[in-house]
Amino acid sequence: MAKTKTMTLTEGNITRLILEFSWPVFVSSIFSELYNVTNSMIVGNYVSLTALSAVSACTWMCNIFNYAFYGLGMGAGILMGAYIGANDRKNLKRALDSSLVFALVGGIVITILAELALPLLIRLCNIGPDIYADAFAYMRVYMLGCSAVLVSQMSFFILRSFGDTKHQLYFSIITSLVNLGLGLVFVRVLGLNVVGTSLATIISQFLMDVLTLRLVLNYDGIDFDIRNIDFSFSVVSDICRLGIPAGIQNMLIAFSSMMVQSHVNRFPNEVIAGIGVAEKINGWGQMVSHATSAATMSLVAQNFGAGKKDRASLAVKKCVQLSSIGTLFMIALITTFAPFLVSRFNQDPAVIFYGTSMIRWSIFGMFFINLSHIYNAACRGAGNVCFPMLIAIFAQVICKYAFVHFGLQLYYDVHILYLGTAFGYTLAGLLATIYFHTSRWSKEIGLR
């Protein structure tokens, strides 16, 4: 297998580089979302409304772990991006070896802890007795894939630090189709119901690990040798320093959303299912900003590593412009086709009504969270990981939960649930924008 070349982001037209870097991430996000919604679509269409409600009620429990892994992967990507920009091959090799060992060992430990913590998480999420058995069975199997998720997240961010986003696209397509195919076989042919969908997911996730690791270990300048692994605790410490704040932020956001879900779970199953479906569809509105923020972080990390701060600053401006235009387009698209999109998950008129209402009342928050993604990615790429964490925790954890909790006490209506997410997203976007454009830090380091 020929060595794969690294893509440099420190030279060339910035707009072209952003588009070249972002479009594979965007398309792979489509398949990743297909991957994420496959379980809901299969159980909603081929099992029962109760099964769909159970899977929907578990969404944020799954995300607690997924978001933590995302943060650790981000830390590895930032560190390796800086080494690539500085052309420091020795430390790059050490960072890669340490990242992968950390992911493999840490993933096994977290899998064990997740299985032990599952009964507590189920209770905290206020799962109703009519869906408890399905929810517990689904999560019991799903948690077995925690180690695979951490390895794939670490590998994806390593690939992005090399400027490689196309292989993530290819692998996402392959594993999404495998997940869909296995899910249909396990549910429709073997009758495994919710367990079948979660089993298909973890098998697909381990396939993703095989594909990504094979590529990561074959990059030009990376001479991986399992007999001579250059592991460093100081590198792991740097990865944690850069990644844990984002991981904590995302875990707390997921935990807060899980607690909001505990309020949702007090409503009828049609509401639970409708809101769960809407949350997944609304995630599509963030695809452009997720893709562009990946480009933002890599561009800033590489150019700061190369000492090209003016170029990094220009890249942030271009990313904000492109991401905002793309996000507005996605918002218009989702709002227009909301009833059709919800009906793909379940044909129950009540589920379609509540899902569509949730989308149309909350979708405007997507524009503001788009700004948060770009500006936070710029800060992290330059090494500032604390303030983005504090802003996100304040807006999307504390304020969002307070809005829903106290709002329902004052006015017990489903519209409070619709507006809670939009409120948190809007506040996060406004605060991130204000911080980036007014803080002394961004001015002093030359990021604006």
Q: Is residue 8 part of a domain?
A: no
Spatial CB neighbours of 207, under 8 Å, sequence gap ≥ 6: 174, 175, 178
Task: State how far the Cα of 315 lies from the Cα of 245, in Å rounded to an integer.
Answer: 24
Q: Is residue 6 part of a domain?
A: no
Task: State how far the Cα of 48 lies from the Cα of 50, in Å rounded to an integer.
Answer: 5
Q: Is residue 3 part of a domain?
A: no
Q: What pLDDT score was predicted for residue 57?
A: 74
Q: Which of 67-76, 135-144, 252-261, 409-418 has the lowest mean pLDDT?
A: 252-261
Q: How confident is the model over 14-37, as pLDDT tens digits? A: 999 898 888 888 887 777 777 667
Instruction: Report, as an integer, the average pLDDT of 235-244.
Output: 81
Q: Is residue 5 part of a domain?
A: no
Q: What pLDDT score was predicted for residue 35?
A: 64
At residue 175 the predicted structure's pLDDT band, cuts being 50, 70 and 90, is: confident
Q: Is residue 182 part of a domain?
A: yes
At residue 221 the predicted structure's pLDDT band, cuts being 50, 70 and 90, is: low
- The torsion angles phi and psi of 4, rounded to 5 degrees, stand at -90, 135
CB 329 within 8 A of CB 292: no
Q: Which of 209-213, 227-231, 429-433 has the lowest mean pLDDT?
A: 227-231
Q: What pLDDT score was predicted for residue 1?
A: 45
pTM of the model: 0.71
Q: What pLDDT score was predicted for residue 4?
A: 53
Q: What pLDDT score was predicted for residue 268?
A: 84
Question: How much of the chain, in percent, has pLDDT values that exceed 70?
Answer: 94
Q: Is residue 4 part of a domain?
A: no
Top-confidence residue, 2 or 137: 137
At residue 223 the predicted structure's pLDDT band, cuts being 50, 70 and 90, is: low
Instruction: Report, as an integer, the average pLDDT of 119-124.
Output: 80
Most confident of 92-96, 106-110, 133-137, 318-322: 318-322
Top-confidence residue, 58 or 417: 417
Q: What pLDDT score was predicted for residue 219?
A: 65
At residue 122 the predicted structure's pLDDT band, cuts being 50, 70 and 90, is: confident
Indicate the average pLDDT of the chain: 83
At residue 434 the predicted structure's pLDDT band, cuts being 50, 70 and 90, is: very high
Q: What pLDDT score was predicted for residue 220?
A: 61
Q: What pLDDT score was predicted for residue 336?
A: 93
Task: State how far the Cα of 288 lies from the Cα of 328, in Å rounded to an integer.
Answer: 10
Task: State how far the Cα of 107 lies from the Cα of 68, in Å rounded to an integer.
Answer: 11
Task: State how far the Cα of 338 lies from the Cα of 352, in Å rounded to an integer.
Answer: 9
Structure tokens at 397: 């954890």
How many structural domains does the chain have? 1
The label of the residue with tokens 């304040």 reads 394
CB 287 within 8 A of CB 26: yes
Q: Is residue 194 part of a domain?
A: yes
Its domain, for residue 218, covers 14-444
pLDDT for 207 beyond 80? yes
CB 355 within 8 A of CB 414: no
The label of the residue with tokens 């218009």 reads 332
Q: How confident is the model over 348-378, as pLDDT tens digits? A: 889 899 999 999 998 889 999 999 999 999 9
Q: What pLDDT score was predicted for residue 2?
A: 46
Q: Is residue 354 part of a domain?
A: yes
